[in-house]
Amino acid sequence: MSASSTAQPDRRSVQTAMWYLLYNVLLLLATPVILCLLLAKKRCRRGLPQRFGFTPPSILPDGRPLVWIHAVSLGEVVAVTPLVKELHRRHPDHRFAVSTVTETGREAVEQRLRGVAEHCYAPLDFPWVVSGMIDHLRPVLYLFVETELWPNLLRRLHRSGVPTVLVNGRLSSRSFARQQWEPVRSFYRSMIQTLTLCLMQSDRDAERIIALGADARAVKRIGNIKFDQPTPESTDSRSARSSLGLHDGEQLIVAGSTHPGEEEALVDAYRSVSERHPSTLLLLAPRHIERAEQVETMVRARGLSVRRRTAMTAVGSEAWSGPRVILLDSRGELAGLYREAVVAFVGGTLVPVGGHNLLEPALWGKPVLFGPYTDHCAEIAGLLLQAGGGLRVTGRELATQIERLLDRPDEGARIGSAARSVVEENRGALQATVDTVDELLQKISGRPRPMSAPDQQPLMAGR
Residues 6+ apart with CB under 8 A from 172: 354, 375, 376, 378
Quick count: other Cβ atoms within 10 Å of Cβ 127?
16
203 CB-contact burial (10 Å; exposed 0-12 / middle 13-18 / buried 19+): exposed
Alpha carbon distance 53, 136 (integer Å): 10
- 200 and 332 in contact (C-beta within 8 Å)? no
| Integer angstrom CA distances of residue 362 from 31, 32, 57, 430 | 42, 43, 41, 18
Alpha carbon distance 64, 438 (integer Å): 17
CA nearest neighbour of 87 among 67, 107, 63: 67
Alpha carbon distance 344, 191 (integer Å): 39
CA nearest neighbour of 360 among 348, 375, 372: 348
- 300 and 324 in contact (C-beta within 8 Å)? no
Strand, helix or coil for residue 96: strand
CA nearest neighbour of 140 among 100, 101, 91: 91
- Residues with catalytic roles: 76
- 192 and 322 in contact (C-beta within 8 Å)? no
Report the length, in residues, of the chain: 463
- 133 and 55 in contact (C-beta within 8 Å)? yes
| Beta bridge mates, 390 | 368
CA nearest neighbour of 97 among 78, 121, 123: 121
Give the DSSP H/E element, type plus range, for residue 111. Answer: helix 103-112
